[in-house]
Structure 1
Amino acid sequence: MRLKAKLIAVWVAFLAAFSFASVTTVSAAKGDTGVDWSVYQGANGKFGYSGDKFVIAQIGGTYNGAFINQSTYKTQVASAIAAGKRAHTYIWYQVGGSTSVAKTALDHFLPMVQTPKGSIVALDYEAGASSSKQANTNAILYGLRRVKAAGYTPMLYGYKSYLVSHTDLATIAKDYQLWLAEYPDYNVTTAPNYGYFPSFDNVGIFQFTSTYRAGGLDGNVDLTGITDNGYGKATTNDKGKVTVKPKTSTPATKAGATANKATKTSITRGTKVKVNLSARAWANGVAIPRWVRGRTYTVQQTSGNRVLLAGILSWISKRDVVVAVKATSTATANSRGTYTVRYGDSWWSIAYKYGMSMYTLASRNGKTIYSMIHPSDVLLIR
């Protein structure tokens, strides 16, 4: 009788598990991994691994009172949403100990935030501190209060040693969660090493590496579930597609949501697509290089269930790509096929934006990739 009861219990558990797997499930943020992006990750970002759940994109920052807007911010937010990730924001906050500079910076950047209300807006304080700990602390607390008053989730980012040396971090941590960075080396690291955890009160996110993938990419882990803020629970259907639902809408989140819902049949010439991190082979069976996965390309041609990627001229199955978001940053090509160089641009970042080789871009302009380019230079891209 006991054996029969056990067999029935096992069978019921199996049926329950099977039924659960076939319907939509939800995911929570605590323990989730994610990446953070700046202009160096390009218009559509550089993705880490398929299990990542969030992205924190740089909107720009203040450098001792000078403002730099990141031209990649809006499209990175949209790209993250399109890929089913929760998108958040950070500001380079080099305000020293000046509350006046802090006020001007937040007056400038807070109205530009594209991630939803409730999402993280982190202040990145890792350079330019004044000699006064109290003044630095006051400028940071002022900024965090402004972020909260604007309807977002405030966080302070930095390296523990720097923050402890230049601020009263314990006072800040009483009211606000910290996003702290600490890593032992620059080897590729795909999971957090808690032997190097920057122990402190109220740590919400741990940035455990700057080389999450070869070539450089910051890797983070959410310790408290804070990256859920601003979003409903992500849903995963029985085909593994993840959808996130921002609680409030912006142009960038709308664009991302539209791309997230796009079907394979909508892919045509000119569509921007991201190569899946799980993709292994081109349509002809040749292995896809690792550096291609997670990047975004323009479709040059379609043929049945295959698409030809511009820039690298390789055919790939539609099942190995997803619709991304077209780059529509403030630094774009005009109708004559030219591009005006902006602050922070490089041969690589411009070429990446338009799905072409940086060698082709340089050659088209009678230069090499070692030639200097400067803001306001006009480059031919077509």
Structure 2
Amino acid sequence: MKFKTKLITLVVAFLAAISFALPSQVNAAKGDHGVDWSVWQGANGVFGYSTDKFGISQIGGYSGYGVYDQSTYRTQVASLIAAGKRAHTYIWWQNINDTNLAKQVLDHFLPEVQTPKGSIVALDYESGSTNTATLRWALDYIRNAGYTPMLYGAKSFLMSHVDLAQIAQYCQLWLSEYPDYNVTTVPNYGYFPSFDNVGIFQFTSTYRAGGLDGNVDLTGITDSGYNGSTTTDSGKTYVKPSTNTPATNAGKRANNTTLGQIKVGDSVKVNFGTTRWANGVTMPSWVQGKTYTVQQVSGSNVLLGGIMSWISRSNVELLTTTSVPSVSYGSTYTVQYGDSWWSIAYKYGMSMYTLASNNGKSIYSVIHPGDVLRVSGGYSVAESSHTYYTVRYGDSFWSIAYKYGISMYTLAANNGKSIYSLIYPGESLYIR
């Protein structure tokens, strides 16, 4: 999770021994590992290890300068479901000091939550100001909306800014504590932030080389919103969200698509444990778990964009598929509760800008349940109307923007980045 206050607490042996003596907090009731993602992990996220069971994605937040939406949230949720992981949500929570503002922020985000009812919606408070009463109200508001509330932060920061003991009576806590910034794959309970009602322990920000947050579920809270899972003999896992959303449906659609149906434009994750390319040459270990766009398909092999290497279909997992429903002339859609320009456009394989324009609106216009929208442009849609570009070695925002005749500032903004953000070979960028 970015923008974290990186606080390292020196724990003496005596205190470490005390933490080991607290089985309700140290000995994980569930023990599942998982990751959390913001925009910095890209459209499909960055996976940790094959044994991970959940991910928590940032939907956006409030910093004191207004509400912002995270452009990668929906596709990250879909990718988690496609990969058989339990997906959850968090909101950046900064400088929200009264219930009126808290209600405005939550009323913006809760209808847009793409993880199932019952899933975690956590408030990420690690900077700025808030107060105990406002947090208590917000956590109750989340629960009343049908989700499982949590509060995230570093124990020392939270204790110095709010009455953490009081908050722990209202919800389980998600606390972070790191002994160092070396690559860490398992929790070091000598640095466990002992406190009442800790549900998730974030034990490192360097779960993998290059940086990734690693978490462990101590109580089974990440099962919230899911009716279990099924793992096939081949090792593929299907999770069962308790309710459906556009993003979870997209994830399930990809999960249910066979490897033999992978096509150009799909996004695939290289399976952990894969050691060789299709031609038998040894594969670099850093490729494992990474996501790439399929550039070509030939028999049982697919060509990965960016690194331009062939790999067997059996060694990848499909995360997103470009297939969309066929839409005939004159089709309409009636807006449902929780819909957005993005979710409707995604459903029909349209650009949300085109969808809004076809209805005499902009993407900033408010839509209401019961509104009837035109979802076709007078022709049959067989492919998504979006244009994407797969980053290659040597590319920059300037060179890609120049290629497509758009501003590099627009290109960066369309992907939830700034022109100073790093882009990587194999990353898929939305053009228009």
Specify the TM-score bucket, using the shorter chain as the normaliser: 0.7 to 0.9
CA contact (8 A) 2:139 2:170 kept: no
2:320 pairs with 1:285: no
In structure 2, relative to structure 1, the CA distance for the partners of 1:65 and 1:203 (3 Å cut) is same
Asked if 1:257 corresponds to 2:252, the answer is yes
Residue pair 1:64, 1:101 contacting (<8 A) in 2 also: no
* Partner SS, residue 92 of structure 1: strand
Task: State the partner residue of 1:309.
Answer: 304
Q: Distance in 1 between matches of 2:321 and 2:161?
A: 41
1:11 corresponding residue in structure 2: none
Q: What's the counterpart of residue 74 of structure 2?
A: 74
CA distance in 1, matches of 2:401, 2:70: 28
- How far did 1:270 drift? 2.0
What letter corresponds to residue 37 of structure 1 in structure 2?
A: W
Question: Residue 46 of structure 1 aligns to a residue in which SS?
Answer: coil
1:269 matched to which residue of 2?
264
1:366, 1:200 → 2: CA distance? 50
- Give the match for residue 36 of structure 1: 36
Contact kept, 8 Å, 2:86 with 2:222, in 1: the verdict is: yes
Larger RCO, structures 1/2 (Cα 8 Å, 6+ apart): 1
CA displacement 1:6-45 (0-9 Å, x = unmatched): xxxxxxxxxxxxxxxxxxxxxx981000000000000000
1:362, CA displacement in angstroms?
4.3
What is the deviation of 1:139?
A: 1.2
Q: Which residue of 1 aligns with 2:236?
A: 241
**C-alpha offsets along residues 347-366 of structure 1, whole Å, 9 cap, x if unaligned?**
xxxxxx74322623446348
Residue pair 1:298, 1:354 contacting (<8 A) in 2 also: no
* Change over 3 Å in CA distance of 1:150–1:358 after alignment to 2: farther
Match of 1:94 in 2: 94
Corresponding residue for residue 215 of structure 1: 210
Q: 1:165 to 1:289 in 2, by over 3 A?
A: same
Partner Cα separation in structure 2 for residue 37 and residue 358 of structure 1:
24
Contact 1:95-1:139 at 8 Å conserved across structures: no
Aligned to 2:320, which of 310, 322, 325? 325
Identity across aligned pairs (percent)?
A: 62
SS for the counterpart of 2:227 is: coil
Q: Tell me, which stretches of 5 or more residues in structure 1 are unaligned?
A: 1-27, 131-135, 336-352
Following TM superposition, by how much is the alpha carbon of 1:65 offset from its aligned partner in structure 2, in angstroms? Answer: 4.8
Distance 1:215 1:248, change over 3 A: same
Query: For 1:213-239, what per-residue CA distance to the aligned partner results, in whole angstroms no more than 9, with x for missing partners?
Result: 011100000000000000011111211
Give the AA of the match of 1:34: G
Paired residue secondary structure (1:102): helix
* Cα distance between partner residues in 1 of 2:225 and 2:219: 15
Change (3 A) 1:366 1:124: closer
| Structure 1 partner of 2:181 | 186
- C-alpha distance in 2 between matches for 1:116 and 1:322: 23
Query: Partner residue of 1:374?
Result: 409
Partner of residue 360 from structure 1, selected from 388, 395, 405: 395
> What code does the residue aligned with 1:234 have?
S
RMSD: 2.7
Q: C-alpha distance in 1, partners of 2:55/2:233? A: 24
Q: Would the aligned equivalents of 1:364 and 1:381 in 2 still touch at CA under 8 Å?
A: no
C-alpha separation in 1, matches of 2:223 and 2:215: 14
Seen in structure 2, the aligned counterparts of structure 1 residues 263 and 111 have a Cα distance that, compared at 3 Å, is same
- Alpha-carbon shift at residue 248 of structure 1 (Å): 0.2
Aligned twin of 2:145 = 150
The letter of the residue matching 1:142 is W
Q: Which residue identity does 1:122 align to in structure 2?
A: A
8 Å CA contact 1:190–1:212 kept in 2: the answer is yes
Change (3 A) 1:65 1:364: closer
TM-score when scaled to structure 1? 0.80
Taking the aligned partners of 2:398 and 2:408, their CA distance within structure 1 comes to 13
- Partners of 1:320 and 1:62 in 2: CA distance: 40
Using structure 2 for the length normalisation, give the TM-score.
Answer: 0.71
Give me the whole-angstrom Cα distance separating, in 2, the residues matched to 1:54 and 1:29: 15
Say whether residues 1:124 and 2:124 are aligned partners: yes
- CA–CA separation in structure 1 for the residues paired with 2:408 and 2:98: 34
Aligned match of 1:50:
50
Identify if the C-alpha distance between structure 1 residues 282 and 185 changes in structure 2 by more than 3 Å, giving closer, same or farther: same
1:377, distance to aligned residue in structure 2 (A):
6.7
Q: Cα gap change, 1:164/1:92 in structure 2, threshold over 3 Å: closer, same or farther?
A: same
Change beyond 3 A, Cα 1:314–1:185? same
- Could you say if the C-alpha distance between residues 101 and 290 of structure 1 is closer, same or farther in structure 2, counting changes exceeding 3 Å? farther
The one-character-per-residue Cα deviations of 1:138-176 (angstroms, maximum 9, x if unpaired) are: 111111011000000000000000000000000110121
CA contact (8 A) 1:29 1:228 kept: no
The superposition leaves residues 82-137 of structure 1 with CA deviations (integer Å, 9 ceiling, x where unpaired) of 0000000000011342222211110111111000000000000111115xxxxx10
Contact kept, 8 Å, 1:65 with 1:105, in 2: the verdict is no
Q: Is the 8 A contact 2:271 2:316 kept in 1?
A: yes
Moved more, 38-47 or 303-312: 303-312
AA aligned opposite 1:41: Q
For the Cα contact (< 8 Å) 1:97–1:137, is it kept in 2? Answer: no
User: What is the identity, as a one-letter code, of the residue corresponding to 1:199?
Assistant: S
Distance 1:365 1:325, change over 3 A: closer
Matches within 5 A, 1:195-214: 195-214=190-209
Q: Aligned pair in 2 of structure 1 residues 126, 377: CA closer, same or farther (>3 Å)?
A: closer
